[in-house]
Amino acid sequence: MSEHEGTYRTFTGKTYSLYGINTGTNQYYKVIKKLADLFLQQCPDKKRLLFQIQKASVNRSFFKKRSGKNINHSLISFIKKTLRDSLSVYTAGVKHHLRTLPLSQRFDSTLMTKEEQYHLYMLEIELVNRIYKEPFKSSQYKFALLPHCLRDFRPDCHSVPGDVESVCKECTERCFIHLGSLLLKKYNIHPYISVTMDLEKLFKRLKAEHPSIGALGVACVPELVNGMRICINLDIPPVGVPLDANRCARWMKQACESSFNLKMLEALIK
């Protein structure tokens, strides 16, 4: 992984890990790219395919009631089976997590994400990046939200409040917030450490301040999809890179450090 190769460690998340059985995450990105290419052969319209995927990822009973003639059920069945065969190695922890989730947390839709939904979300992220990469890059104001769990856990974080969210003060070279921020600044993208829970409110404010705006997110798979959908509804072109594994306190009961693929980030924004 070029100059950052020694920075990476293999992380296991609560429900998913993009490492699978490998020591890096590059293979995952090769797999998801090939899958998207395959499905686009069946449905060449990217936005149409995205619509199908988004509808298929909702609750099954709701899907059956509301899908109607707008959904290509044979295509969705093919996609789900192919995703399951190809991506299950990356979502090995989902079933155990769902079996052991306390009753008090079973109303949290993010924590209750099913394995099939993970697979559809992974494909959705790839499609959204393909659709909105150029509109994002052409935006006059571009910002990125990086999760706090990316920091180096050895020292205390020295981040300070910024005009949008907290900003990195570069207190350690190994920190993925620092590494990501350096890369983002290189491409004129304003990086912030995400702490706000109400993303829709934040995005609406930024949209009002910057009519030509693009958003980049780094988050666990379900949260990244949620943020992307909010942006699309607000007419903000989104792109994003999933965390290598979901390891924040929401999932693990205590904050555990994580990482993301810097090479994939640069390929997305350069």
Query: Is residue 44 over pLDDT 80?
Result: yes
Q: Rounded distance, CA 127 to CA 214, Å?
A: 16
> Helices in the chain by DSSP H: which ranges?
26-42, 46-56, 60-66, 73-87, 94-100, 115-137, 176-186, 199-209, 221-233, 249-252, 262-269
pLDDT of residue 169: 52
Band of residue 6 on the pLDDT scale cut at 50, 70, 90: very low
pLDDT of residue 173: 63
Q: Rounded distance, CA 260 to CA 151, Å?
A: 11
Place of tokens 């072109």: 237
Query: Is residue 199 over pLDDT 60?
Result: yes
pLDDT of residue 256: 79
Would you give the distance in Å from CA 203 to the centre of its chain? 17
pTM for this predicted structure: 0.88
Q: With contact defined as beta carbons under 8 Å apart, do 166 and 176 qualify?
A: no
Q: With contact defined as beta carbons under 8 Å apart, do 14 and 93 qualify?
A: yes
Q: What is the mean pLDDT of the chain?
A: 87
Q: What is the pLDDT of residues 161-183, one digit of tens each?
A: 445 544 545 556 667 888 999 99
Q: Rounded distance, CA 53 to CA 37, Å?
A: 14
Segment of 105-109, 174-178, 236-240 carrying the highest mean pLDDT: 236-240
Average pLDDT over residues 172-200: 85
What is residue 147's three-state secondary structure? strand
Q: What are the residue ranges spanned by the domains of the chain?
A: 11-269
Please measure the distance between the N-terminal and C-terminal CA atoms of the chain and give it in whole angstroms.
Answer: 17
More confident residue, 147 or 225: 225
Query: Is residue 48 over pLDDT 60?
Result: yes
Rg (C-alpha) for the chain, rounded Å, is 18
* Letter string b/e over residues 203-220, b meaning 16 or more CB atoms within 10 A of that residue's CB: beebbeeeeebbbbbbbb
Band of residue 71 on the pLDDT scale cut at 50, 70, 90: confident
Band of residue 5 on the pLDDT scale cut at 50, 70, 90: very low
What is residue 52's three-state secondary structure? helix
Band of residue 266 on the pLDDT scale cut at 50, 70, 90: very high
Band of residue 63 on the pLDDT scale cut at 50, 70, 90: very low
Band of residue 12 on the pLDDT scale cut at 50, 70, 90: confident
Percent of the chain with pLDDT over 70: 83
